[in-house]
Amino acid sequence: MGIAGFRITGAGRAGIRAVSCHHVFLAGNEAVDNFRWGIFTGFCEDLVIEDNEAAGSRDEHGIYVSNSADRPVIRRNLIHDNAEAGIHMNGDASQGGDGIISEALVESNVIHDVGRKGAAGINADGVQRSAFRNNLIYRAHATGIALYRIDGADGSKDNVVTNNTIVVANDGRFALHLRGGSTGVLVRNNILLNENPARGGLDVMPDCFPGLSSDRNAVIDRQSTDDWETLIDLETWKNRTGQDRQSVVATADTLFASGGFALRTGSPALDVGAKEGTVPVDILGLRRPAGTGIDLGALELCPTPKCDRVAPARTTAMLAKLTTAPPPAPSHGGGCAGCTVARSPGNGWLWALVFVALAMRRQGDWGVPRRKPLPFQFQGTPPDASFCCSAHFGHPCPRDRAGRHSGHRSRRASSGASVDRARA
């Protein structure tokens, strides 16, 4: 089943809640200004959470995927201004199951202004054989990405952390933190910056070095192997750990064009990335490599007037299983010249709902303030109308001419009272 196109605000616990389920698809919703979580799931296997906005959770996280359910996909969400984590994932051994979330895909999320009460941009407790890639995390007031074990049955082992851009705020912790026996982690092509002079890029506890392979990252020149008791520069880090032989020291000024996180001409992140562990498109669908090699971070730079841009992979096993007959599609006009509407047999109704919802939101029909522009923009024409409308990128969307759909206003999901076995 799918839940798409709703705006939920003011819930006492979760804006959207899905527990003891499987193959649930949450897309294009706005879960904003709810008390504890924007989107909460527990024991929900093969879950897809994409193209949602999860913001303003006053107590905890934007998106919380809990318990030991496997194969969650969390991508292209805009997550911001949550008190604790942007995305929190918790294997929850204390709640039964195997205590491990396996084979999660966490990619192309934009996460900012989170963690004032702690946690991380992306927090993973007992998450294994999973990929964290193409995420942009900035103004992180706690950790950027943390792989660890507190209530998971085991450390967050055998994960891949590639092509993320992380900038920690001046009151935050480290950009990437491994602890609790989180071994076997592949770290490639990340930008790991920190505005806090007392913290830095990589913080790896000694029990996480077995199987660690970290290289080709652009990092601020402060790392740690002892939970920030001492800070060491990149050269010392290389000598002590044998890691990051081809990583480089960098700052925002040397990496980014002014005003955002797109790479500047001459950036040390250009064309020096590894192929290992990466994905063939960047956070905006630009095909890698553009230029002579793969860039570091979530945003590949197009060095020529035109680069190959593709729609992000949208087809999932979940989508293939949605078989509800499609109703007539809404009419569209304007916006996104050159875009086409991607459809898969059997799920056109779902995308239609997402389109209507997002177009209405753009027009202010829900009284929602227009989103502040993000500090990067498309270069050229985006490939796909649904991608244009993606909650992340502030691009003009196709306009819906069908009028208001007031029935979709402020629909409130059930929350709280029944079986919620998540650790709060």
- Least separation in angstroms between residue 379's CB and Ca ion is 13
DSSP 366: T
- Least separation in angstroms between residue 11's CB and Ca ion is 43
Residues 266-285 that bind Ca ion (CB under 5 A): 271
Residue 321 CA to residue 326 CA, distance in Å, equals 14
Residue 326: how many other CB atoms lie within 10 Å: 15
Contact stretch for Ca ion (CB under 5 A) within 27-35, 114-122, 289-297, 365-373: 289-297
Residue 328: how many other CB atoms lie within 10 Å: 8
Contact stretch for Ca ion (CB under 5 A) within 11-19, 287-295, 356-364, 408-416: 287-295
| Of 50, 51, 282, 295, the one binding Ca ion by CB under 5 A | 295
Q: Which is nearer to Ca ion, 95 or 254 (CB)?
A: 254
- Least separation in angstroms between residue 287's CB and Ca ion is 10
Q: Which is nearer to Ca ion, 99 or 285 (CB)?
A: 285
Contact stretch for Ca ion (CB under 5 A) within 29-37, 160-168, 200-208, 263-271: 263-271
- Least separation in angstroms between residue 306's CB and Ca ion is 14
| CA-wise closest residue to 54 among 90, 88, 25, 103 | 88
| CA-wise closest residue to 420 among 119, 64, 159 | 64
Contacts of 299 (CB under 8 A, 6+ apart): 136, 165, 261, 262, 263, 282, 283, 284, 286, 376
Residue 336 CA, chain-centre distance (Å), reads 24
Residue 335 CA to residue 338 CA, distance in Å, equals 9
Taking a C-beta distance cutoff of 8 angstroms, is the pair 47, 70 a contact?
no
| Of 291, 346, 375, 416, the one binding Ca ion by CB under 5 A | 291
| Of 289, 312, 348, 394, the one binding Ca ion by CB under 5 A | 289
- Least separation in angstroms between residue 185's CB and Ca ion is 24
CA angle 103, 104, 105 (to 5 degrees): 120
Query: What is the x/- site pattern for Ca ion, positions 19-58, by CB under 5 A?
Result: ----------------------------------------
- Least separation in angstroms between residue 188's CB and Ca ion is 14
Q: Which is nearer to Ca ion, 125 or 271 (CB)?
A: 271
Q: Token pair for residue 16?
A: 């959207």
- Least separation in angstroms between residue 307's CB and Ca ion is 9
Number of chain residues interacting with Ca ion (CB under 5 A): 5
> Nearest to Ca ion by Cβ — which residue?
291
Residue 331 CA to residue 338 CA, distance in Å, equals 16
Taking a C-beta distance cutoff of 8 angstroms, is the pair 16, 31 a contact?
yes
Q: Contact residues for Ca ion (CB under 5 A)?
A: 271, 289-291, 295
